[in-house]
Amino acid sequence: MEIIARMNVGGPATQVMGLCERLNHEEFDHRLYTGHVEGGEGDHLHLRNSAVEVHRIPGLGRSVKPADDYRALSGLTRAMRGFRPHIVHTRTAKAGALGRVAACLSGVGSARIHVFHGHLLYGYFSPAKRHLYVRTERLLAHVSDRLVTVGSQVRDELLQAGIGRPEQYVVIPPGVRAGPVPDRGAARAALGLPQDAPVVAYVGRLTQVKRPDRFVAVAHAVLGRIPGCHFVMCGGGELGRQVERDAETVRDSFHLLGWRGDVETVYAAADVVLLTSDNEGTPLTLVEAGMAGTPVVSTLVGSVSEVVRDGHTGLLSGTDPDELAAHTVRLLSDPGLARRMGGAARDWTTYAFNLDRLVSDTEDLYRSLCETRGRHLLARGNGR
């Protein structure tokens, strides 16, 4: 039983879609429970080769709303008693909390897995809310069989916060299906970009933790040294209007695309992909950019260093816009270096973050839990 608050365009939903499509359905009866599917109200999630039934849980969402949360908790508990899954597999903070509490209330005896695609320790909350988040996750760890993180650094930061025990953790990096990448000329024509200008791209949500304001600050610094550079922002969020205002003075060099389903076109058109976040897990933007052969410049946060091999597949930096700008200018000014890093990034990400590896790691985790839980139930049945 896989539980996620929303199936949208984010990294967690991308991982779920890959598992829905590729898991061995003869071995695993894998069912998806969610509160919302982006772009539709139907009861099926349409994948490349099949359609997966979606089980809707009314009230399940990201925001804290006591009435909705109670409704979602009740719905999940009833669903567990009806399905009686061997494993409850939760993703995202809200679904992780409600799903694990429901697993306790249901009395079914399922093994419980929660996935941290990142964490909310930095860049999200006030100190008081962060304290509450940490206390809640510590309590939930006590009723979890496995805690999965997308990178080793994310695991280490959670352990430093006192969340869970080392033996509970399993690191399973994300898996990405590489889509067809158009050639540079076609990509730039599709986006209305000049064919011969340097292009820097941002792909992600326009929210505070992603720091799109920092991307705009980097753009100003780069334009001071490379006046003909163009900057592309692909994404949406609550800071969209603020980004428009911040970029007003350089609007001829800025292209705000909103959300696009063909992110491969953005990567193909770019000379550099820039990530400016204060906090990350293992960002799929950098994996996808690598698979497209585009070098990246990124802040050194979360498990970014497990995606970007500094000096080999891209350049890592502190959070200072001038430092990020200097790395970006270096790549834009040395096409040979950028080309070598892009090729190395393609080789590395295709090897380390492919979808088949994600599916294999997840199936191995499910099997190990079923074997462990089976031995435990057998011991209880024998009075031991």
Ordered per-residue pLDDT tens for the chain, 384 residues: 999 998 876 678 888 988 988 899 899 999 999 998 875 545 655 555 555 778 999 999 877 889 999 999 999 999 999 999 999 999 988 999 999 999 999 999 899 999 998 776 766 667 888 888 899 999 999 999 999 999 898 899 999 999 999 999 999 999 988 778 999 999 999 999 999 999 999 999 999 999 999 999 999 999 999 999 999 999 998 999 999 999 988 889 999 999 888 899 999 999 999 999 998 888 899 999 999 999 999 999 988 999 999 999 999 999 999 999 999 999 999 999 999 999 999 999 999 999 999 999 999 999 999 887 665 544 444 433
Residue-level pLDDT at 264: 94
Residue-level pLDDT at 50: 52
The alpha carbon of residue 32 and the mean position of all alpha carbons in its chain are separated, in whole angstroms, by 18
Separation between Cα atoms, residue 110 and residue 370, nearest integer Å: 9
CATH of 2-176+355-381, one of 3.40.50.460, 3.40.190.10, 3.40.50.360, 3.40.50.2000: 3.40.50.2000
Separation between Cα atoms, residue 241 and residue 299, nearest integer Å: 24
Residue-level pLDDT at 42: 52
Separation between Cα atoms, residue 239 and residue 260, nearest integer Å: 17
Please state the φ and ψ torsions of residue 232, each to the nearest 5 degrees: -115, 130
Question: Is 324 in contact with 308 (CB distance < 8 Å)?
Answer: no
| Token representation of residue 300 | 């050194």
Question: Is 96 in contact with 80 (CB distance < 8 Å)?
Answer: no
Residue whose C-alpha is closest to residue 191's, from 285, 274, 255 = 255
Q: Tell me the three state secondary structure of residue 291.
A: helix
Question: Which runs of consecutive H residues, i.e. helices, occur in the chain?
Answer: 11-22, 66-83, 93-106, 127-141, 152-160, 184-191, 212-223, 240-246, 263-269, 284-291, 321-333, 335-352, 355-381
Q: Map tokens 């950019």 to a residue.
A: 289
For every residue of 145-212, DSSP letters joined together read SEEEESSHHHHHHHHHTT-S-GGGEEE----BPPPP---HHHHHHHHT--TTS-EEEEES--SGGG-H
Where in the chain do CATH 3.40.50.2000 domains reside? 2-176+355-381, 184-352
| Token representation of residue 51 | 């359609």
Residue-level pLDDT at 382: 42
Question: Is 210 in contact with 204 (CB distance < 8 Å)?
Answer: yes
Q: What is the pTM of this model?
A: 0.84
Separation between Cα atoms, residue 153 and residue 163, nearest integer Å: 14
Q: Within 10 A of 342 (CB to CB), how many other CB atoms are there? A: 24
Residue-level pLDDT at 168: 96
Architecture of the structural domain at 184-352: 3-Layer(aba) Sandwich (3.40)
Residue whose C-alpha is closest to residue 131's, from 160, 159, 161, 164 = 161
Question: Is 99 in contact with 76 (CB distance < 8 Å)?
Answer: yes
Provide the residue count of the chain.
384
Residue-level pLDDT at 384: 32
Separation between Cα atoms, residue 164 and residue 143, nearest integer Å: 10
Separation between Cα atoms, residue 36 and residue 74, nearest integer Å: 17
In 15-57, the DSSP E strands lie at 32-37, 44-46, 51-56
Separation between Cα atoms, residue 248 and residue 167, nearest integer Å: 51
Question: Is 296 in contact with 272 (CB distance < 8 Å)?
Answer: yes
Residue-level pLDDT at 192: 94
DSSP state for residue 354 in the 8-state scheme: B
Task: Specify burial of residue 98 (Cβ count, 10 A radius: 0-12, 13-18, 19+).
Answer: buried
Q: Map tokens 């896989």 to a residue.
A: 2
Separation between Cα atoms, residue 95 and residue 102, nearest integer Å: 10
Separation between Cα atoms, residue 277 and residue 200, nearest integer Å: 16
